[in-house]
Structure 1
Amino acid sequence: MRVVHNPAASRFEAEVEGRLCRADYRMDGDTMLVVHTEVAPILEGQGIAGELVREVFAHAQREGLKVAPMCSYVRAWARRHPEVAGLLAAGW
């Protein structure tokens, strides 16, 4: 699976079995507010959302950005991956 950053749509996306999977964000200064992740129900449980979120944090690290996990999935993922704690915006 290939995750790509689509800055024009403010999202990270992957096409899996012909379905678009995505992690949407908004920018607030140097902070990415990740507001939504979406994976078709038929594709759930394959780690797709996790790969999308992993790429969000990798992008943030490369670009010197912080991440505000507004989406409950992203918050849960970040709790399970303490290595990204330094990329979280203040208060998260």
Structure 2
Amino acid sequence: MKPEFTGIPLIKNDSEKQYELTIEGYTAVIRFNETPHHITLVHTEVPAELEGKGAGTAIVEKTLESIEQSGKTLVPLCPFVFAYIKRHPDWKRIVDPGFKGFNQA
């Protein structure tokens, strides 16, 4: 993640079921579903104004850190998050053991 994004807080908006990261007045989001043991990430949206600036990477990294701190496991159904974890396989440590997507990709 770019250093300028490290101090920007990630918001977990439970009522909207999304993680939010506001950069330069624009908000990137990752939508999720949650159970007592898992968080499933289903969709990432980055406003066009933030594309190519590293906002997508920043929200994914901050979201993965938040999930790890929660003690829950991750089900990465969002293609953007799935691709990020394929490029950074150390994050597989938080992926739910029942998720078999990486075995088939």
2:61 aligns with 54
- Unaligned runs of at least 5 residues, structure 1: none
| Structure 2 residue matching 1:8: 3-state secondary structure | coil
- Unaligned runs of at least 5 residues, structure 2: none
TM-score w.r.t. length of structure 1: 0.87
Percent of pairs with identical residues: 24
How many residue pairs were aligned? 92
2:84 aligns with 77
Cα RMSD for the two superposed structures: 1.5
CA deviation vs aligned residue, 1:40-66 (integer Å, no higher than 9, x gap): 123111111111111221111111111
Please report how far the alpha carbon of residue 28 of structure 1 lies from its aligned counterpart in structure 2 after TM superposition.
3.0
CA–CA distance in structure 2, aligned partners of residues 19 and 7 of structure 1? 19
2:43 aligns with 36
2:72 aligns with 65
